[in-house]
Amino acid sequence: MLCLAALMLSQDHDEKFAIRTDSYKSALMPYLKNPGVFTSPLDPSGTLSYQLNPNLQNAALATIPDPSVTVLFYEGAYKKPLFRYGGKAVIGFVDGHVKLLTPAEVAALHWAL
């Protein structure tokens, strides 16, 4: 849901991710209407479990060379995903899909433009 909301927001802002890491929750709320989507099922209610890739702040979609392997959101902090689902981490991509990935798979992803 977070990735799709970010894509909808970008459509409303000339194809740019017009969001910042410190305020992405408030920017996406008009597209989501449910604050519960920001919290992992494993975390206490109200926790901000998912983080925006800071390299994508104000990035234009056209400047992202491979959206299917570029991280948009991840569960964790400081570009360090949490591998707490059978050794896998939740990663959301610029193209809108979300996957559970192993540490080796995450190491092969794009974080920068």
DSSP 97: -
**CA-to-CA distance for 1 and 21, rounded, in angstroms?**
17
For residue range 20-57, list pLDDT tens digits in order: 999 999 999 999 989 999 999 999 999 999 999 999 99
Dihedral angle computed from the Cα positions of residues 12, 13, 16 and 20, in that order, rounded to the nearest 10 degrees:
-100
> Domain residue spans in the chain?
2-34+48-107
| Mean pLDDT calculated for residue range 97-111 | 97
What's the pTM?
0.94
Q: How far is CA 16 from CA 9, 10, 11, 64, in A?
A: 8, 5, 7, 10
> Which are the contacts of 79, defined by CB distance < 8 A and separation ≥ 6?
51, 53, 54, 111
